[in-house]
Each structure stands twice: as C-alpha cells, then as structure tokens.
Amino acid sequence: MKQKLQTFGRFLSGMVMPNISIFIAWGIITALFIPTGWCPNETLNALVSPMQRFLLPILIACSGGKMVYGDRGAIIGACAAAGVTARTETPMFIGAMIAGPLGGWCMKKVDAYIQPRTPQGFEMLFTNFSAGILGAVLAVLGCLAIEPVCLALNSALEAGVSFLVNHGLLWLTSVIVEPAKVLFLNNAINHGVFTPMGMNQVAETGKSIFFLIEANPGPGLGLLLAYCLFGKGSAKESAPGALIIEFLGGIHEIYFPYVLMNPVTIVGLILGGMTGVITNSLFHSGLVSAATPGSFLAILGMTARDSYVGVILSIFLAAGVSFGDNAVLLKAFGKETDVKAAQKEVAASKASSKGGMPVPAPVLSAAVSLPKLAFACGAGMGSSAMGAAALSKTLKAAGLDIPVEHSAISDLPRDVPFVVTHESLAQRARTQCPAARICPITSFMGGTEYERSFRS
C-alpha cells in the first residue's frame, strides 16, 4: 500500500515539479503587479489570468502526457488540456492532471495499433494525421466531458475546504500531512493536492494558505533544534548541519531519518504543523504561489504583501511548538541508538544476511568500477541533488572519478548500472531499472553509509 501511494503521489507531483520555475515566474508577476501587489500595474496585471488559466494547466498536462508516452504523449496531452480550459474562468489544474496522462495513454495505444499497419513510405503521413485526429477528439472530449466533471470536483473540494475553514478545523490537515511527509509523500501532497487548491484560491483572493500547509519548515526546524540540544551521539552532531539545510535550503527530507529513528517525535511535528496552520488562519496570511523548495527565503519571496507578519510568525511559532514537544519526547522516550549506531546495525544486518562481514574502507576504490551512477529521489530535485553532491565527495576522496547524476526515479534511464536511493524508495527504483544494482540508504548526507553500501 505504501509503495502504491508513493507511486501515485510521485505521478501527481511529477506533472507539477518540472514546471515549478513557471509557477514561481507567475507568482512573482502576481506579487508585483496585481492591484494589491508591490507595484500595481494594469497592463502587466493582464499577464496573471492567462498564465493561470491556460499556460500552467497546459504545461502540467504536457508533463503528464510526456511521463506516459514521451514527446508525442506530451503534445496530445497539451491539446486535450486546451479543451479542458476553454470554457471556464476557473484554473483547471485537476483537469490538466487528468487530460495530460489520458492524452499520452491514448496516443500510445493508437501508435501501437497503427505503426505495425503503416505502409512503407507513409510513416510521416500516418504519424501526423493519427496524432492530429486524436488531438482534435480529445480537445472536444476535454471541453464537453472532462471540464464539467472537474468543475464538479472543484466544487466538492471547495465545499470541503469551506467547511474546515468556517469551522476553524483546517489545522486537522496536519494529522495527515506530517506523517505522510515522513513516508516521502511530501511532494505528492504539496504539488499534487495543495498547489492546485492554492492556485484556485489565489484566483479568488490573491493569496492562499494551502501553499504553507506542507511547505512550512517550522516543524522540521523545531525537531532538529531539539536533536541539537537533547539528541545523542552523531544524531546530535549532525543535527546543526541538517537544521541549516532545512531552514535555508528547504530540503524537508533532511529531517525524515531523525523522525524514523524516534517515531514518537511525529507527535511534535503534528503539533508544530497545527500551530503553523492556526497562525496563518488567524492572520489571514498566505503565499501567492508555491514555494519550492520550502525554505524560509523562498517562502518570503512568495509571501503576499499583507501577509509577512502572519507567515513569519507561523514558521517560528511552529518551530517553537515542535521544539518544545520534541525536547520533552526525546528526553522521555528517545532511543539510545544514535544515527551512526543505527547505520552500523543496518550494515551488519545486511552483511549477515549475505553471509559475510563488512569490508574495510580501503576496499572502496578497488570495488567500484562503474562508468556512471545515479542518485534518485521522488522528484529528482532537492534530496537527490544534495545526496549526489555528498556521494561525489565520497568518491573523489577515494580517488574515483565517477559521474554522479541526480534524477527522479521515474526519469531513471533503463540502462543505468547503479542507483543510490533512500530505502523507502528502493522498490520503485528496482521496478524502474530492473537490471541496475540498487543501493538503499537511510541518510542522504551519510558519507560512511555510501562507503558501506558500495562495499556490501
């Protein structure tokens, strides 16, 4: 079930993540030029609506179609999304997430049927006309069928959200969000669920609280601060560096191993998340677009002009509550095992299951002879980029000049010989690259862990 949820969540976020830079561009334009922005401008404000109604949904659909069937899937998915966006003022992000993959899947099936039956010399004719006819059909289908369904879904979501907001219960979302983040569903929740809802809210009010429910770095910041003061061994030693990465880099995955090491700390994270949501609700504060990564600096860049007090307070109050609760929990229930001890236990268990013992460090340079390797995470951005950099340093220190690429699991080349990824994502990596050697790790920054993994 966990793997299925991760796969579905990865698919949703995979449609949004490649287009995050355009979301940021739209957010900057919105923050500057809308009537309540920093530099109100009637002419430039005209950019906001077309980008939100047409550009962003079509880009999402294009990415969804490409994930299913490459470039041909992308163009047909975009064509289908044009039909979905044609008749409504409501941003059709949900419709784009349906139309894009549907277009890619239909194009894949049509090609599978037509290509074996195409006469020699007519390949270009059949290829272009099959895609053109299918695109026209799906655009009409999107306009007449998908768009009404999505409007109904939007209405249902708005009713549910309005109920939570009107009854002061939006903070309950933290009970689901914080544990789901630790299961590496953070990108799926933020970009697959909250970003579409947030964009719809921005269209109405100019800002949205939904961009801050998952992205708020406060709960993770408080947890890592508690480890700095009350942790044990290498957990305490590594926490300050992780804290800086979480706060300024916005890489939430950096604190997940600390939660998994002492699962009771999830209580502090939930309470911290609730505090952040309540604070933003009381101050009616929000962002104008998604802040990715969820760093303090990125969040300030996307904060609505009238929301700085509420947003900043929501981060630091969430951090304070998370710190206070987790400090008590670590003192009362914290396990004796620290990060290094946990890593040694994992390595020993892995070696024992193979009937061997861990190999000494000098063997690393002799054991690795690869043309290249990949470091993969769910979205292919923050975690994998950070892990690839740490792994490159480990390899160079061992005298090895091996390229380390970072990638989303869904984008891994089938022929890659070696993949490093978090243990919770290992099965997805094996499914994507069945011929590759998969190296599961528990810490993105643990150089010694990389050494053991290569030797085992």
Task: Select which of 79, 106, 377, 433 is catalytic.
Answer: 377
The residue among 50, 52, 134 whose CA lies nearest residue 99 is: 134
Distance between CA atoms of residues 413 and 411, nearest Å: 6
The answer to whether residue 377 is catalytic is yes
Contact 387, 377 (CB under 8 A): yes
Distance between CA atoms of residues 434 and 415, nearest Å: 9
The full DSSP string for 206-230 is S-BSHHHHTT--HHHHHHHHHHHHH
The residue among 204, 197, 202 whose CA lies nearest residue 31 is: 202
Residue in the block written with tokens 């969804």: 64
Distance between CA atoms of residues 18 and 24, nearest Å: 12
List alpha helices for 284-425, DSSP H.
296-302, 308-333, 339-353, 364-367, 382-397
Angle (nearest 5°) at CA 20 between 75 and 15: 45
CA dist list (Å): 365 to 148, 392, 393, 396, 397: 60, 13, 13, 10, 10
Residues acting as catalytic residues: 377
